[in-house]
Amino acid sequence: MISKVPGARGALPGSDHSTDSYLPQHGNGGYRVQHYDLDLDYRVVSNRVAGRATITAVASQSLSRFTLDLGRLRIQDIRVDGRPAKFAHRPDKVHITPERPIFAGDTFRVDIRYGGRPVPISGRWGDIGWDELTDGALVASQPNGAPSWFPCNDQPSDKATFRVALTTSSLYTVLVTGDLVSRRRGAGSTTWVYERREPTAPYLMSVQIGRYVMVDLAVGGVVQRAAIPPAVRVRFAHDFGRHGEIMEALQRLFGPYPFNEYVVVVADDELDDPIEAQGMSVFGSNHVDGRRTHERLVVHELAHQWFGNSLTVADWRHIWLNEGFATYAEWLWSGVCGDLSTDALAAHWHARVAARPMDVTLANPGVEKMFDQRIYKRGALTVHALRKRVGDESFFALLRAWTAEHRHATVTTEQFREHAQRFAREPLDDLFTAWLDRPALPPLPR
Residue positions forming the annotated binding site: 300, 304, 323
Residues annotated as part of the active site: 301, 376
Binding residues for Zn(2+): 300, 304, 323
Backbone angle region of 222, left / alpha / beta, with phi > 0 → left and psi within -120 to 50 → alpha: beta
